[in-house]
Amino acid sequence: MKLLLLPSIMNRQYRFSHYLVQCLSIILIALALIGCAKAKIETQPIPTPTPVPVVNGKSDVAVWLTDPDHITYFAKQNVTLNFSSSSNYNPTIVVDSTQTFQTIDGFGFALTGGSAYLINQLASATRDALLKELFTADSTYIGVSYLRISIGSSDLDANVFSYDDLPAGQTDEGLQNFSIDPDKPNLIPVLKAIFALNPKIKILGSPWSPPTWMKTNQNSVGGSLKPEYYSVYANYFVKYIKAMEAQGIRIDAITPQNEPLYGGNNPSMLMSALEEDDFVKNYLGPAFQTANISTKIIVYDHNCDMPSYPLSILNDPVAKKFIDGSAFHLYGGDISALTQVHNTHPDRNVYFTEQWVGGPGNFPSDLKWHVKNLIIGATRNWSKNVIEWNLASDPNYYPHTIGGCSTCLGALTIGTSVNRNVSYYIVAHASKFVSAGSVRIASDNVGNLSSVAYKNPAGKKVLIVLNEGTSSQTFNIQFKDMIVTPTLSGGAVGTYIW
């Protein structure tokens, strides 16, 4: 009996073993898929440049789309949109080029020391192709036209430094030891390559901290500028601008202090409105004037919740004559603060100079918030620029200082490959088509559709539209009594050019 049953038993054992192997294989595949899904949360590894499709037939309007729900990332659409005199009951965005507002300086990113380091470590062919993609506007390239850099280190450098660091207890009031050598290995070579591609690019310089020997606490974190060093620090700015000019890098504008109301970053420094007013009025402005420096002075450089800070400085007529405008971030307050400052001092400019994306990020919600509040919101509130923080980080959000931002997601993640994240696409929707010298013109916000419009130096009209809703919306774009009728998915951004 046992001999007769043995083949049957062996067959069942074989089937059971085979079943276990199949189950184990399924489990391993599932785990691999989960791992891939988690990896995709970190970045959007979309290859660029995106091939440009050929539109079937003539189209009056070109369309570039980012639609996260349909996995479309700043891609030119194969659509035909021709203006006509037809009518319908769709919501209508009226674009009026006879109503003009501010002239645009540009759109771009903070080129931190860490960003420059990561870019400079790339193989030369990869680096050159990436810089061309970022800083030229032909083909599918995105035409970045404005950069912010730190004067000395920011918190997104690997180490804290100034241009005149000394051993504890020493001072250098004559700035004999001043040197921009810390920027020469990475930042300056990358900037030179960028200027070769776009000689008209605008650069804003902002210090996170002066040399510690100038500060009340002798520390890179917090503290204030000692009054006896106000004139020395003004000359520090003069030396910086001239040293960069000697490298072929023109600094278009500076702010006296990044985030002057926050002293907890490394590096950082506190500077009250009264202190900044005194520094600009009695030291920095006159020093620039004496040295025949045309670099703009832009005050404040902090959140929208304290418009009283720049207003108090601009209300000082002696300080105001040295000041081009005010700069803002949006970690607090409302973007309408820019209009409040503009309306009080319409003869001075406003700028938007920093906003981060916290890693790992949420692409659809980050896209919607940043386009609504910055690309559309800041410029509808008179900003001449929009700068996203920051251009590049590695997969673990380095480089950064000890105590610096440890979850700042770059527009690019540079590791074994280069991945493009949400800030890249946020900026691209404006920077490619709204070049320096463009003028904002009138457009409507209707229903869930937010918009901003421009006329660029080539005479093209550029309309950026965000669908803040969750469902698709068909709408009209009306220009000079003619309409075209596109459709935009919920959460999507479209740039329309004609």
> What average pLDDT is seen over the chain?
91
Q: What is the band of 57 on the pLDDT scale with cuts at 50, 70, 90?
A: confident
* 11 domain-assigned: no
338: left (phi > 0), else alpha (psi -120 to 50), else beta?
A: alpha
Instruction: Provide the strand spans (E) within 68-208.
Output: 72-76, 92-103, 106-110, 146-151, 202-207
Q: What is the band of 226 on the pLDDT scale with cuts at 50, 70, 90?
A: very high
* 126 domain-assigned: yes
Asked if the model's pLDDT at residue 179 lies above 70, the reply is: yes
Q: How many CA atoms lie within 13 A of 298 on its CB side?
A: 29
pLDDT for res 236? 99
The DSSP symbol for 50 reads P
> Same domain, yes or no, for 451 and 413?
no
Give CA–CA dist 215/209, Å, rounded: 9
Where among 396, 416, 436 does a domain terminate?
A: 436
> Same domain, yes or no, for 276 and 416?
yes
Instruction: Let me know how many helices (H) and strands (E) the chain has, helices first.
Output: 13, 22
Where among 436, 466, 483 does a domain terminate?
A: 436
* 237 domain-assigned: yes
> Same domain, yes or no, for 131 and 244?
yes
pLDDT in tens, 306-339: 999 999 999 999 999 999 999 999 999 999 999 9
| Domain extent for 338 | 105-436
> Same domain, yes or no, for 181 and 228?
yes
Neighbours of 473 (CB within 10 A): 20
Annotated active-site residue in 133, 276, 354, 388: 354
- Exposure class string for 301-328: b at 16+ Cβ within 10 A, else e: bbbbbbbebbbbbbebeebbebbbbbbb
Residue 420 CB partners (closer than 8 Å, separation 6+): 43, 44, 45, 46, 48, 73, 411, 412
* 16 domain-assigned: no
> Same domain, yes or no, for 97 and 242?
no
Asked if the model's pLDDT at residue 12 lies above 90, the reply is: no
> Same domain, yes or no, for 249 and 116?
yes
Average of per-residue pLDDT across 102-123 = 98
* 429 domain-assigned: yes
> Same domain, yes or no, for 298 and 243?
yes
Three-class DSSP category at 74: strand
pLDDT for res 220? 98
pLDDT for res 27? 40
* 12 domain-assigned: no
User: Which carries the bigger pLDDT value, residue 3 or residue 64?
Assistant: 64
| 354 classed as catalytic | yes
> Same domain, yes or no, for 456 and 337?
no
Q: How many domains does the chain have?
A: 2
Asked if the model's pLDDT at residue 396 lies above 70, the reply is: yes
Instruction: Provide the strand spans (E) within 383-471.
Output: 383-388, 392-393, 412-414, 418-420, 439-442, 449-455, 461-467
Neighbours of 266 (CB within 10 A): 20
Asked if the model's pLDDT at residue 4 lies above 80, the reply is: no
pLDDT for res 426? 98
CATH number for 227: 3.20.20.80
> Same domain, yes or no, for 403 and 484?
no
* 210 domain-assigned: yes
> Same domain, yes or no, for 97 and 109?
no
> Same domain, yes or no, for 211 and 281?
yes
> Same domain, yes or no, for 451 and 372?
no
| 276 classed as catalytic | no
Where among 387, 421, 436 does a domain terminate?
A: 436
The amino acid present at 251, given as its one-letter code, is: I
The amino acid present at 342, given as its one-letter code, is: H
Nearest 5°: the CA angle 463, 380, 337 is: 160
pLDDT for res 9? 31
Asked if the model's pLDDT at residue 39 lies above 70, the reply is: no
Beta carbons of 192 and 201 less than 8 angstroms apart = no
CATH number for 477: 2.60.40.1180
Asked if the model's pLDDT at residue 29 lies above 50, the reply is: no
340: left (phi > 0), else alpha (psi -120 to 50), else beta?
A: alpha
Annotated active-site residue in 259, 275, 276, 468: 259
* 212 domain-assigned: yes
Beta carbons of 359 and 409 less than 8 angstroms apart = yes
Q: Which two tokens stand for residue 364?
A: 């659809």
User: Which carries the bigger pLDDT value, residue 150 or residue 7?
Assistant: 150
Q: What is the band of 56 on the pLDDT scale with cuts at 50, 70, 90?
A: low
